[in-house]
Amino acid sequence: DQQVKQNSPSLSVQEGRISILNCDYTNSMFDYFLWYKKYPAEGPTFLISISSIKDKNEDGRFTVFLNKSAKHLSLHIVPSQPGDSAVYFCAASGNTPLVFGKGTRLSVIA
């Protein structure tokens, strides 16, 4: 039973365009959501988070949107850069350790 789902294994975007990565969750007790970025041969790196009391959090080129009624969150990267090419993991917690999705591989094409 996967509580955090990233249904798109991969995504290709042209440099300068918007990248939108999606994540769905099933556990209504989750109240804290995070995105991690992972380059090959490295550990996941924290990117941005959002609490369930908010519906949007912005940090530079990265914005996370949370739709609690739909149990859906998304990560927007604008503008996308080649250095953003990596695997992005969505994670969620609710007084429990983080539960991760399987990741989406983003390729930004120059």
Binding site for another protein (CB under 8 A): 4, 32, 34, 36, 41-46, 49, 89, 91, 93-98, 100-103
CA dist., res. 2 & res. 83, Å (int): 30
Can you list the positions of beta strands (E) in 26-85?
Answer: 32-38, 45-51, 56-59, 62-67, 72-77
CA dist., res. 69 & res. 82, Å (int): 34
Least gap, CB of 22 to another protein (angstroms): 15
Q: Which residue, 29 or 78, has its beta carbon nearer to another protein?
A: 29
Q: Which residue, 43 or 60, has its beta carbon nearer to another protein?
A: 43
Q: Which residue, 69 or 95, has its beta carbon nearer to another protein?
A: 95
Least gap, CB of 45 to another protein (angstroms): 7
CA dist., res. 78 & res. 16, Å (int): 7
Q: Which residue, 14 or 28, has its beta carbon nearer to another protein?
A: 28
If you count them, how many residues does the chain have? 110
